[in-house]
Structure 1
Amino acid sequence: MLQNNPELKSKIDQLWNKFWSGGISNPLTAIEQITYLLFMKRLDELDLKRQSDAEWTGEHYSSKFVGTWIPPEYRNQPEPEKFAVEKRTLRWSEFKRMHAEEMLQHVQTKVFPFLKDLNGTESNFTHHMKNAVFIIPKPALLVEAVKTIDEIFEVMEKDSRDNGQAFQDIQGDVYEMLLSEIATAGKNGQFRTPRHIIKLISDLVQPQLGHKIADPACGSGGFLLGAYQYIVTQLAIKAGKQDLAPDEDGFVRTSVAAGLTEKAQAILQASLYGYDIDSTMVRLGLMNLMMHGIDEPHIDYQDTLSKSYSEEAAYDIVMANPPFTGSIDKGDINENLSLSTTKSELLFVENIYRLLKIGGTAGVIVPQGVLFGSGGAFKALRQLLIERCDLKAVITLPSGVFKPYAGVSTAILLFTKVWSPKAKVDHPATDHVWFYEMQADGYSLDDKRSKQDGYGDLQDIVAKYRARNPETDTDTDTDRTARCFMVPRAEIEKEGYDLSLSRYKQDVFEEVHYDAPGVILERLLVAELGEDFFNREKHEKVLESLESGIVRELLELKGMIG
């Protein structure tokens, strides 16, 4: 991890500083431009590696950099071959040797357009790259960025050799750190979900190979990547891999190469779907997953709350951290959503319920206000989760989890869809709800979010959630003063479907014994007067000599209570 590699972290900080001093100070713009360069570098290295592997094994491999390429704008012109570009010159390893001005022009006019056209005109990647622009303005900045990225890759390769961590995982760490710099992402309630929280939710919902998995507000694709890595790890374990060690958060994760057959890779790559209403985040999400080994991610520009989005009962797993704030245009809300509200945090949860297949499971982060809000839509949503879903768990998170972006208090909802929206509910699907109060997540809860010793409550949550038994752990044998406990549906109904942990948790009050007031006053006076306090004649002399002050007032009070 980057926390354990100060050299790698230093190189990434250098890269940020160069973009800042080079005139690109918006973090979101900088990360997009850096991503394009990382993608160019990785594309060249992967192509060279696959060529080498094919020569060794005798298998056929068609390089992306062999032959010529004609830019799309010239393809319908007479004699388009006049505009053909030698693909070889589009390699990172080729253009990095050019002079500064020549390199900038070459990357702007040839390499970047080739990157946008990479997967063919019909691919999802090409479609979303259509409006992407390469805006590095100065030749010197491009030269410095290329040099620093080469150095970053050298450090990653060394780290991979020395520590045995897969290069792909280290590359993912680097990209995650770059994404963490998007401090402006607090707008509209959108901010990056910490990776250890994504791993926690993945371990709780346990996606499997063959599941169709979605995130309807995917941002940079963190939850899709979390599901992918969880499944890959489980396949590796099933295949007999035994040298897997827990990471800094206590979770076991490994790389694609550890246990995926070609068939499993194909199934998994066809299983991940993400949607977002920010075109920049869609591009970042696409490249994030592609740099983690997912060749053709299904991430699209889509407002999943709008009338234009019609999917329903389509997914086995939904994991999401939808926007927490803001309202949407009432006239554009999908008519299939029944809640009478324009609050996005409520509509997203209902929409996630609709997206699930019967038997499908969701892990969703919500602001804690959703748990106890008194408005009609708040209560209706909680009633829906209790009656039409098996609401398995409510896990409250400390307010610092999303710092430095926001200090909002949040919770994780885990639920399985039992009844469809139009089905008659014969009996409520939830019998008991498991509550857990997370107090620590393994990181400081200030703006720095520094790694602390241990895993916080992360592994305890996973262990206790899996060990719970809704059929035997009833309200009569659950300790409501503990960190976690079960609450029966009937009690929740009685409380107006309130899901706040504080509603059901029993506080423990310790009996504290205090000294009598006279003893306390005597202790204070001895501290002020010393041995004179025990001489009553001197008491009176002191009182006569003091017109005011704390000693006089203490002596008078002492005289009153004896």
Structure 2
Amino acid sequence: MTNSQQIVNKAWNFAHVLRDDGLSYMAYTEQITFLLFLKMADEQTKPPHNRKPIVPAKLGWQSLLKRDGDELEIHYRHVLEELGRQPGMLGEIFKKARPEIQNPATLKRLIVDLIDVEKWSSMQADVKGDIYEGLLAKSAAESPKGAGQYFTPRELIKAITDVVQLQPDDTVCDPAAGTGGFLLSAHDYIVRHFTKELDKDQKKHLRTAFVKGWELVPNTARLCIMNLYLHGINADPCPIKSGVDSLAGDPGERFSVVLTNPPFGKKSSIAIVNEEGDLEKEDTSYERQDFWTSTKNKQLNFLQHVRTLLKINGRCAIVVPDNVLFEGGAGETVRRNLLQQCDVHTLLRLPTGIFYAQGVKANVLFFDAKPAQEKAWTKKLWVYDLRTNMHFTQKTNPLKRADLDDFVKCYKPKNRHRRKATWSEETPEGRWRAYDYDELAKRDKFNLDIFWLRDKSLEDSDDLPEPDVLAQEIADDLQTALDQFTAIAAELKE
């Protein structure tokens, strides 16, 4: 068992203890966030980092270690309240933070036995992510529709940032930042590839202006801000806008790169409090002059929104569900305009079983913003099919970065114009092929839901996946169909 797995198992043991005390997995994740931050902030002041303290000593990690019992519980509450009043990102992390752990003995064990014994700053980000990912998976089990929006598989994010070819002077935006996976990966990419080459101004840009994001759920934004802060990103004002609906309007800023996985779910909604004091959600169409069309489809709205966020020649990678590729009406309008006004050059068809939310069939759409012209900017759309005859599950066969190596190789990040198809009539199993704009325009409603590989499970019983994988795929298909019928029924009712 690796050190990472041991730490994750230890974290789970505490999760079960706190669960017995009535604490939800998401609340536990938040408390871990507070304590981990204080511990790592303390580590940053010691060799080899030797940074200036970012937390006042009287509120820092050592102040928690010195106390026990009721005194510890009272001081922990005081720490959270005081840090929530601090300026900048520090205050954002602890804004409205509450001490959910009621048992002082449990809090002490969490501090001493789980967190203090590890050197968190020396771990790879993935180790800390493993704990968050596991906790989010449990949260998904509690509320299956809840966790998919928070966590994008890190291996997929790595592949996306690898092909986008980020540069030190870029400005990177995620309008649905979640726990900050895309923004952190973008930052780490620059650190890995350019650290020795950066001048003073570029280092300041990386620290203060390289990333920016929006996150509607405040507790999720808290995780994101903490992660950014501990990776050396320290900007004032805070680069993450918490509790803000990014679709509500044009922020006025433009970015050279947008990387995002907007929350799953078709309809856009706004939260309101009714006369009885209960929280309700109302479907809404965003009336924005910079959108091609008005629609209640959340994914189509996000696709239009990210296009407006890009500078000319800015690059975008956005995760979208299948319905964005084939839906008529507003969907056709958005696709037609996107293909004409942007260079939509790559589509990655993702396998099922890699997201927490069930029934999700998703893709990554890559496009570049372009200046206005009469002719369509999209000349050729390259499609990579990583879905057909590919079987992944969260537990037994999770997606690995190596599973995306062939896609990255075919993408040719350094020179997209030298791409070569792996599919031909002689090689019908090839997963990489191109479609000219004229071919796309002839498809019904500019349908981009393109596939060509034979599904072997439909033809040869010897090639059937394992029973649990097959059962999950059937469940995913049924869930997708149910979602589509539900949407149709709602539209007919309206």
TM over 0.5: yes
Q: How many angstroms does 1:192 deviate by?
A: 1.2
Q: How many angstroms does 1:117 deviate by?
A: 3.1
Q: How many angstroms does 1:40 deviate by?
A: 1.4
Q: 1:435 and 1:466 mapped to 2: Cα distance?
A: 13
Q: 2:21 and 2:455 mapped to 1: Cα distance?
A: 57
Q: Which has the higher contact order (CA 8 A, sep 6+)?
A: 2
Q: How many angstroms does 1:333 deviate by?
A: 4.1
Q: 2:152 and 2:422 mapped to 1: Cα distance?
A: 33
Instruction: Provide, for residues 243-300 of structure 1, a one-character-per-residue CA deviation record: whole Å limited to 9, x for no partner.
Output: xxxxxxxxxxxxxxxx766543321121100101111111111012122332345101
Q: 1:441 and 1:215 mapped to 2: Cα distance?
A: 31
Does residue 267 (structure 1) correspond to residue 205 (structure 2)? The answer is yes
Unpaired segments of 5 or more residues in structure 1?
55-60, 66-86, 161-165, 240-258, 513-562
In the other structure, the counterpart of 2:64 is 95
SS of structure 2 residue aligned to 1:288: helix
Alignment check: 8 A CA contact 1:316 1:359 kept: yes
Equivalent of residue 184 in structure 2, options 201, 207, 225: 225
Q: How many angstroms does 1:149 deviate by?
A: 2.9
In the other structure, the counterpart of 1:353 is 307
In the other structure, the counterpart of 2:412 is 466
Alignment check: 8 A CA contact 1:390 1:430 kept: yes
Equivalent of residue 498 in structure 1, options 447, 452, 460: 447
In the other structure, the counterpart of 1:203 is 162
Structure 1 residues 405 and 152 mapped into 2: Cα distance closer, same or farther (>3 Å)? farther
Equivalent of residue 343 in structure 2, options 390, 396, 399: 390
In the other structure, the counterpart of 1:316 is 256
Alignment check: 8 A CA contact 2:349 2:385 kept: yes
Q: How many angstroms does 1:216 deviate by?
A: 0.4
Q: How many angstroms does 1:4 deviate by?
A: 6.3
Q: 1:447 and 1:340 mapped to 2: Cα distance?
A: 36
Equivalent of residue 448 in structure 1, options 377, 391, 395: 395
In the other structure, the counterpart of 2:273 is none
Instruction: Provide, for residues 2-31 of structure 1, a one-character-per-residue CA deviation record: whole Å limited to 9, x for no partner.
Output: 96633222222122223212321x222211
Structure 1 residues 330 and 291 mapped into 2: Cα distance closer, same or farther (>3 Å)? same
Q: How many angstroms does 1:370 deviate by?
A: 1.2
Q: 2:388 and 2:45 mapped to 1: Cα distance?
A: 43
Q: How many angstroms does 1:175 deviate by?
A: 4.9
Q: How many angstroms does 1:321 deviate by?
A: 0.5
SS of structure 2 residue aligned to 1:463: helix
Amino acid at match of 1:386: L
Q: How many angstroms does 1:101 deviate by?
A: 1.0
Instruction: Provide, for residues 539-558 of structure 1, a one-character-per-residue CA deviation record: whole Å limited to 9, x for no partner.
Output: xxxxxxxxxxxxxxxxxxxx
SS of structure 2 residue aligned to 1:131: coil
SS of structure 1 residue aligned to 2:29: helix
Task: Map 1:24-423 onto structure 2 (within 5 A).
Answer: 24=23, 26-49=24-47, 53=50, 61=52, 63=53, 88-109=57-78, 111-118=79-86, 120=87, 123-127=88-92, 129-150=94-115, 153-154=118-119, 170-171=127-128, 174-175=131-132, 177-179=134-136, 181-183=138-140, 184=143, 186-187=145-146, 190-236=149-195, 239=196, 263-269=201-207, 270-296=209-235, 298-301=239-242, 302-306=244-248, 309-312=249-252, 314-325=254-265, 326-328=267-269, 329-330=283-284, 332-373=286-327, 375-402=328-355, 404-419=356-371, 423=372
Instruction: Provide, for residues 325-364 of structure 1, a one-character-per-residue CA deviation record: whole Å limited to 9, x for no partner.
Output: 1333436543432323111011001111111111001001
SS of structure 2 residue aligned to 1:387: helix
Q: 1:92 and 1:471 mapped to 2: Cα distance?
A: 53
Q: 1:372 and 1:173 mapped to 2: Cα distance?
A: 35
Structure 1 residues 470 and 103 mapped into 2: Cα distance closer, same or farther (>3 Å)? same
Q: 1:356 and 1:283 mapped to 2: Cα distance?
A: 26
Amino acid at match of 1:267: H
Q: 1:208 and 1:290 mapped to 2: Cα distance?
A: 21
Alignment check: 8 A CA contact 2:421 2:433 kept: no
Q: 1:446 and 1:108 mapped to 2: Cα distance?
A: 40
In the other structure, the counterpart of 1:521 is none
In the other structure, the counterpart of 1:485 is 433
* Structure exhibiting the larger radius of gyration computed from Cα positions: 1
Q: 2:105 and 2:174 mapped to 1: Cα distance?
A: 39
Q: How many angstroms does 1:188 deviate by?
A: 9.1
Alignment check: 8 A CA contact 1:431 1:470 kept: no
SS of structure 1 residue aligned to 2:339: helix
SS of structure 1 residue aligned to 2:118: helix
Alignment check: 8 A CA contact 2:379 2:436 kept: yes
Q: 2:77 and 2:421 mapped to 1: Cα distance?
A: 65
Alignment check: 8 A CA contact 1:8 1:152 kept: no
SS of structure 2 residue aligned to 1:153: coil
Amino acid at match of 1:341: T
Q: How many angstroms does 1:44 deviate by?
A: 2.0
SS of structure 1 residue aligned to 2:384: strand
In the other structure, the counterpart of 2:486 is none
Q: How many angstroms does 1:460 deviate by?
A: 0.3
In the other structure, the counterpart of 2:4 is 5
Q: 1:506 and 1:440 mapped to 2: Cα distance?
A: 7
Q: How many angstroms does 1:172 deviate by?
A: 5.3
